[in-house]
Structure 1
Amino acid sequence: MKFARYLEENAVDEWRKAYIDYRGLKKLIKRVDAHYKARMAEEARNQPLERPPAVHSRAKNFFRRGANALRQDNSFVPNYGSTEEQPMLDDIPPVTLDGTNLRLPGAPTNNSATDVEAHGSHTPQSSFDARRKSGVSGSPLSIGSEDAHVLSTQQQDTEPTDSTTPITWVARDPKAGTQDIDELISKHFDAEEQKFFLALDEEADRIVTFYKERESEAFDRLSTLVTQLIELAEHRREFKAQTQKLVSSQGVSRIFSSLPRTMKAEEVKRARLNAQHINRSLSPSDQIDTGDKRRAKAMEHVQALNIGPLKNIKPEEHASEAAHIGHDPVKYKAARKKLRTAVIENHRGLEILNNYRILNRTGFTKILKKFDKTLDVEFLQPYYEARVVPTPLVQSETVPKLLQATKEIFTMYFEHGDEKRARELLREPFGTFSGLREHRYHSSTFRTGLYLGVALCAIIQGLRDVLRPEVQAVMPNWKALLQVYSAELIPTLFALLFGLNLVGWQKVRINTVFIFEWDARNVLDPAQYFEIPSFFLLLLSIFFWISFSEPQATTIRPDTWPLVWLVIVVLAFLNPFPVFYPSSRRWFLASMTRVFTGGVLYPVEFRDFFLGDELNSLMYTFGNLWYLGCEYDHHFRVPDQCPTNGSWWFPVLAALPAFLRFLQCFRRYFDSRRLVRIHLVNAGKYASSVLNVFMYFNYRRLGSPSGVPFAFWILFAAINSVFTCSWDFVMDWNLLQRNAKYPLLRSNLAFADIWPAYYVAMVTNFFGRCNWVIYLFGGPASLALRAFLAALIEMLRRWQWNFIRLENEHLGNADSFKIVRDLPLPYPTSSSRMKHETEEDDDGDSDGQSSSSFRLRPRSKYSKRSEQALRDNEENAHQTLQRTRDGLQEARRRNGHD
């Protein structure tokens, strides 16, 4: 596999701009090679006949002999760093960086030959000459370590280096300095050819700077987790003491009366058995459980790694109520679960960072090897030794140590010392970040095709039957039944089309696993997902065909089948057995629960308002829920007893999704501490949607094609269309940007290969937002058909909207280099409270949140406690940890005596 493809498949999409630009450097090598060969040919023609050109061969021998040959023989090498002795090469084209996305040190972003010439102090020749004359390192990244190592030239193969493959290193010559590589470059390459090394230096500078920042943030995250785990250990220790007191109480009835009501029977039994086991196995002088020993051992191992000084918890003015939870078992389990998830997420981020280090380090060796092979020189070892080895990409062991510490903490704190299970839980499945999967789900694809084929045939036959006059004569309520089926068909088709969204996002490597917070170990492939809505569509189409096929020949009423289908769908999602993708069903049910609470019980995340927007395109189905219940209540009587304009329940249910999004916007506004007022503007958008629904219902209820109700509906419908469409373009899609490559679009496009589709989407989105115009034509007889067509248009518009909306979210994560989730922590941190105090001084608000690139978000509510109380709590935690360590040493000493 070519390294360019290997890098493409294994790079994290959100960090793609931070990796080495391997393809751009390959393009630059081709241009340097053309210039280099042309210059060699020109110099060969200018050489005297009695002296054949030996520059190229001697240069190659020079590189093979090493940098020390520089001091032994300087006479044979022409001085390419001096313009006086350089021959006139006007006919040789310059080496440009156009189309490579590379830049030179100190040059503008848009590099070209003229740009570089305009900055005389930053030209390649003067840069390398200045380094050589001043003796300064050629790279700001070099640290001049005497213990640096260099990649052995014997370890060069065509396959990319993997994180599990050991790399052979040999000792570096301590006499060779970084100025030697600058002198080599300035003597053997002219100013145009030196652009490759300057571009490579700039790449190394950019990569190492990014790596240092991420490494520092990773250390801060582990430090925060350590302080959180110390508080969790104290919380657990006091909770265990409480359970022991309950067990030692007199009488079983007193035990159960003392336990919290929220404690389950299994938890009561477990607490009793654990306390009894502790009382039997430990003497009064040795009341330290094995869990404390494991945790103390883990902390000892973390300190033994010598990663750096971990932060200590400092006294604060405000103590958190999380530090005084009261040791309720449910709250303790919630705190433990939060920290467990945070440790897993921290380990995931560390693995990504470690992979970033390995990929870029390998990229430098590969591109230097490519340079050597193309120009027939051997420059890999001296450059890698001088420029890459002294950097943290090679020298730093912080990230591997952080990974080891995180594994140790997770094993001892959350998996009872079971290293094998801890490794399985922490191991990231293949393809989560690369967006590619090795599995091929042929059986799922076959079943999906079978379901859709049968469903299509059943729908066509059902439509033929419903249009037959004899069927309509036997079923006078066929219109009402058809409307019920239409309301069930819209969400089923929408769910099926969402599978195409998944395929498109996967094609352009959008990290849906991270955005939607799916479980990476159980995430569904699009082929597996298609099986779910296609199966429900199969059942719906068969029931539709049965309802209108010979209705007089069956004893089951035709209107029974839509209700049967609805019951099957509900039971399938609520099925407690581990079949039919249980983890995906749990995620969907939990997410829908969060959506229908409207942000009242939970903070609003991306998946919450994304699903809320999806429900906004199902207003037709929500409104017909009342119609379905009314028809079944009246047994589908003729004439119809349930006109859609006869009850206010119809607009209430139809406007429910918009109202939920309205509440979510206010929750986000309050969570931002009333600073991000754009959420209020978004709330106004959904308020206009709610008013539009009610104005339309009021116009339909009065039945007047003209007059004030009609005018009000037209006014609010127009306002809603303009408002929502503008928000789609500017906020949800982030289009209409100035100075974009394609007018009215944006600079970065995930679907750049089909960029005209963005213009098509903008036009169709506008017409889709104006689908209410369809109600202005036709009479009352075709109203149900027009309502279904409007719902179908809105569903297709939303399906199209999904592609660009998630693309914009992904690009936002990439711009901020965000690859891990913002997770809530059970206990407050010093940094979060310092930020809280700063913001409180600014605007007097008492609700703060922490923010950083790899945020682990603390709780935002603080109780008014004294500073002394918090200090006592912290001292107790440290004293308890020290007692645990002393007990562990005492136990070891006893074992030694025994």
Structure 2
Amino acid sequence: MKFGKTFETHLTIEWRRQYMRYGDLKVLIKRGVDRAPPPATTPDYEIQAYYRAFEETFLMECQNELTRVNNFFLEKLSEARRKHNTLKIQLLAYSHVPGHTSSDLSIGSNRIASHLPNRRRSSAEKKMTQRQLRSAYSEFYLSLVLLQNYQSLNETGFRKICKKYDKYLRSTAGAEWFDRNVEFAPFTDGHLLQYIIAEVEDLYTLHLAGGDRSMAMAKLRVPPLGEPTPPFMVFRAGLSLGMLIMLVMATAAIYWKRPPTADNIPGFMRLYRGPFTWVIFNFFMAANVAGWQRAGVNHVLIFEIDPRSHLLPATFLEIACVFGILWALSMLGFLLHDLIFVPDPFLFPLALILIMLGMLVVPLPIMNWPARWWTMKLVGRVVSAPLHYVGFADFWMGDQMVSLGNCLVDHYYIFRFYATCWLRSHLMINCFKPDVMVPIMSSLPAWFRFAQCLRRFRDSGSKSVGTATRSTIPSPGSSSPATWWPSSTAISGTYCGTLASSGSFVVNTSSSGPNWYTPFRSTTS
């Protein structure tokens, strides 16, 4: 990967405007070379004058970039020092270290608390609990690592651009300027930042990890940028994919040889179409994340995910394959229920749904619990969109739910079947007829998206309400499928699907570069 793409991938989105403008300087060099006077028709003194003027212009731009980077780095370093001192006082007071009592906590907060109402002063001076301290130190350590990445990325950017200048201009001015200015710049001096990082690690190890440094670093450590996927994870994903392919082939062969009875075919199709959404969604997530990484989109920072616990494409592929294996095994049980002495084949779809839900919501620190908790919180924020501020991740999930409107109806049919029809004497075909809840369920994703846009319009006065028009067009086929001609259903479904997919495509691709970032994506800052 070229450094320009690496630079865009690894930068912190919130600080995008504070990095050196590597791309602009690269364009400046190319423009300077292209506009150089031709040697065949231009005197030597004019050529030398042109290159001297261009060198002065280029180095002046580099100096301006260096000044801006230095100022921002020093500002963030000062904030880090103040934050470090505050957390250190809180931690030592919590640990009852001699010389650090709870009265010390009010030293830094007296000025703030004096301007607050009486009922809020106590909260400003309250001692933090161990859980709060761990969370605060984890977040603070992450900010220090981001600042360290900012430092190294800008230093590499200046080195690369000076080297590129010397290469294209056949000069040594770039290297000389770098040695004279960047090597001794404040932002390249990482001693103080490294000292703060080391002290944070020591304090966390001693007071919050019981002296166990390995446990402390497991909580604090941030994976390096651009870390490759572990080979064992790729092996597990490939093994799961192979098992899924074999099971799907076996299921198709058995369905061809031993299809369900005519009465059970509608139930078989309806009950297994909904869970298949879980499989295909994770497959597409694996493709999305892999595509974002290849295109240089830092989705971890865009979606505000903890870098310590984000999922890699191989993990999404493994999750999709595990769900697919369960889905195929359940269908095999349905088709072969008489051979394994299970009288009711509809136990297998119910078991599949319960297992999938259990794997999602089980509150244990297993099976990527941070990612599962993040997903559940995100879905909850989409459902309660009018009640709180809406961020980019909320908009993204809302778009996905609009695209999955029919899948939500399928899950409603599953719930209704097991609540009202199962174990009762009803014709199977009647158990999956639409009722008044079907159009309501199919309209819910569009309402969630519309509520998000209304909330964003209220908070920022942006033009997000116009975006809601696309999201709130319901599919007539899903509202009353019994009364619409098949051609009308197909046309309306294709039209609405195209609108939803195009909107999702614009949202997803808008984060691939700064030129797409502002006009097509809802801002979150």
User: Is TM more than 0.5 here?
Assistant: yes
Query: Is 2:90 aligned against 1:233?
Result: yes
- Of 395, 406, 410, the match for 1:609: 395
Q: What per-residue deviation string (whole Å, max 9, x for no partner) do you get for residues 286-325 of structure 1?
A: xx635938998xx9xxxxxxxxxx9995677555966433
Per the alignment, residue 22 of structure 2 pairs with 19
> Does the C-alpha gap of structure 1 residues 532 and 359 become closer, same or farther in structure 2, counting only changes over 3 Å?
same
Per the alignment, residue 258 of structure 1 pairs with none
Query: Is 2:463 aligned against 1:678?
Result: yes
Per the alignment, residue 642 of structure 1 pairs with 431
Amino acid at match of 1:403: L
- Of 490, 495, 513, the match for 2:282: 495
- Of 624, 629, 648, the match for 2:410: 624
Percent identical: 16
- How far has the Cα of 1:332 moved from its partner? 5.0
Per the alignment, residue 80 of structure 2 pairs with 222
- How far has the Cα of 1:348 moved from its partner? 2.9
Per the alignment, residue 745 of structure 1 pairs with none
Query: Is 2:122 aligned against 1:324?
Result: yes
2:109·2:124 contact (CA, 8 Å) conserved in 1?
no
Query: Is 2:305 aligned against 1:513?
Result: no
2:295·2:512 contact (CA, 8 Å) conserved in 1?
no
2:297·2:511 contact (CA, 8 Å) conserved in 1?
no
Aligned ranges 1:57-68 → 2 under 5 Å = none
> Does the C-alpha gap of structure 1 residues 367 and 227 become closer, same or farther in structure 2, counting only changes over 3 Å?
same
2:73·2:187 contact (CA, 8 Å) conserved in 1?
no
Q: What per-residue deviation string (whole Å, max 9, x for no partner) do you get for residues 588-623 of structure 1?
A: 2333343344363x5433222322221222222222
Per the alignment, residue 534 of structure 1 pairs with 321
1:347·1:403 contact (CA, 8 Å) conserved in 2?
yes
Distance 1:554 1:665 in 2: 53
Per the alignment, residue 457 of structure 1 pairs with 249
Per the alignment, residue 339 of structure 1 pairs with 136
Q: What per-residue deviation string (whole Å, max 9, x for no partner) do you get for residues 159-184 of structure 1?
A: xxxxxxxxxxxxxxxxxxxxxxxxxx
> Does the C-alpha gap of structure 1 residues 312 and 576 become closer, same or farther in structure 2, counting only changes over 3 Å?
closer
Aligned ranges 1:31-46 → 2 under 5 Å = none
- How far has the Cα of 1:220 moved from its partner? 6.0
Query: Is 2:222 aligned against 1:428?
Result: yes
Distance 1:513 1:569 in 2: 25
Describe the SS at the equivalent of 2:513.
Answer: helix
Distance 2:99 2:7 in 1: 38
Q: What per-residue deviation string (whole Å, max 9, x for no partner) do you get for residues 772-816 of structure 1?
A: x95526xxxxxxxx79x959x977986775454233135359969
Query: Is 2:157 aligned against 1:360?
Result: yes
> Does the C-alpha gap of structure 1 residues 424 and 209 become closer, same or farther in structure 2, counting only changes over 3 Å?
farther
2:453·2:465 contact (CA, 8 Å) conserved in 1?
yes
> Does the C-alpha gap of structure 1 residues 427 and 580 become closer, same or farther in structure 2, counting only changes over 3 Å?
closer
Distance 1:531 1:368 in 2: 45
> Does the C-alpha gap of structure 1 residues 339 and 398 become closer, same or farther in structure 2, counting only changes over 3 Å?
farther
Distance 1:450 1:557 in 2: 30
Distance 1:23 1:678 in 2: 35
Aligned ranges 1:250-649 → 2 under 5 Å = 289-290=97-98, 292=100, 313=111, 318-319=116-117, 323-325=121-123, 336=133, 339-363=136-160, 366-367=163-164, 370=167, 375=170, 383-384=177-178, 388-389=180-181, 394-396=184-186, 400=190, 403-404=193-194, 406-407=196-197, 410-411=200-201, 414-416=204-206, 426-431=220-225, 434=226, 437=228, 439-440=230-231, 441-458=233-250, 460-461=252-253, 464=256, 471-472=260-261, 475-548=262-335, 554-575=341-362, 578-598=365-385, 600=387, 603-632=389-418, 633-635=420-422, 637-638=426-427, 640-646=429-435, 648-649=436-437
- How far has the Cα of 1:460 moved from its partner? 3.1
Distance 1:489 1:289 in 2: 57
Amino acid at match of 2:246: V
1:459·1:544 contact (CA, 8 Å) conserved in 2?
yes
2:70·2:185 contact (CA, 8 Å) conserved in 1?
no
Amino acid at match of 1:526: P
Distance 1:459 1:612 in 2: 34
Distance 2:372 2:503 in 1: 24
Distance 1:653 1:320 in 2: 48
2:70·2:187 contact (CA, 8 Å) conserved in 1?
no
Describe the SS at the equivalent of 1:645.
Answer: coil
Per the alignment, residue 76 of structure 1 pairs with none
2:297·2:512 contact (CA, 8 Å) conserved in 1?
yes
Rg bigger for which structure? 1
Q: What per-residue deviation string (whole Å, max 9, x for no partner) do you get for residues 170-201 of structure 1?
A: xxxxxxxxxxxxxxxxxxx6123335513531
Distance 2:290 2:323 in 1: 20
Q: What per-residue deviation string (whole Å, max 9, x for no partner) do you get for residues 544-572 of structure 1?
A: 24423585884342222211111221222
- How far has the Cα of 1:540 moved from its partner? 1.1
> Does the C-alpha gap of structure 1 residues 25 and 426 become closer, same or farther in structure 2, counting only changes over 3 Å?
farther
> Does the C-alpha gap of structure 1 residues 24 and 698 become closer, same or farther in structure 2, counting only changes over 3 Å?
closer
1:490·1:795 contact (CA, 8 Å) conserved in 2?
no
Describe the SS at the equivalent of 2:311.
Answer: coil
Per the alignment, residue 509 of structure 2 pairs with 807
- How far has the Cα of 1:415 moved from its partner? 4.7
Q: What per-residue deviation string (whole Å, max 9, x for no partner) do you get for residues 127-182 of structure 1?
A: xxxxxxxxxxxxxxxxxxxxxxxxxxxxxxxxxxxxxxxxxxxxxxxxxxxxxxxx
Per the alignment, residue 48 of structure 2 pairs with 190
Amino acid at match of 2:228: R
Distance 2:368 2:112 in 1: 46
TM-score w.r.t. length of structure 2:
0.76
Distance 1:229 1:575 in 2: 33
Describe the SS at the equivalent of 1:193.
Answer: helix
| Number of positions where the alignment pairs a residue of Structure 1 with one of Structure 2 | 506
- How far has the Cα of 1:26 moved from its partner? 7.3
1:492·1:533 contact (CA, 8 Å) conserved in 2?
yes
The runs of 5 or more residues in structure 1 that have no matched partner are 40-88, 95-123, 126-188, 241-273, 275-287, 300-309, 706-772, 778-785, 823-850, 852-898
Q: Tell me which of the two structures has the higher relative contact order, counting C-alpha pairs closer than 8 angstroms and 6 or more residues apart.
A: 1
Per the alignment, residue 776 of structure 1 pairs with 488
> Does the C-alpha gap of structure 1 residues 438 and 644 become closer, same or farther in structure 2, counting only changes over 3 Å?
closer
- How far has the Cα of 1:507 moved from its partner? 0.8
> Does the C-alpha gap of structure 1 residues 317 and 384 become closer, same or farther in structure 2, counting only changes over 3 Å?
closer
1:452·1:537 contact (CA, 8 Å) conserved in 2?
yes
Q: What per-residue deviation string (whole Å, max 9, x for no partner) do you get for residues 381-438 of structure 1?
A: 75556xx42x6x633258636624642673476554669566665553223xx4x626
Compare 530-539 and 446-455 and name the one that shifted more: 446-455
2:221·2:308 contact (CA, 8 Å) conserved in 1?
no
Amino acid at match of 1:348: V
- How far has the Cα of 1:360 moved from its partner? 3.3
> Does the C-alpha gap of structure 1 residues 408 and 542 become closer, same or farther in structure 2, counting only changes over 3 Å?
closer
Amino acid at match of 2:239: R
Amino acid at match of 2:62: A
Distance 1:796 1:680 in 2: 19
- How far has the Cα of 1:579 moved from its partner? 4.4
Superposition CA RMSD, Å: 4.8
Amino acid at match of 1:618: L
> Does the C-alpha gap of structure 1 residues 24 and 508 become closer, same or farther in structure 2, counting only changes over 3 Å?
same
Describe the SS at the equivalent of 1:660.
Answer: helix
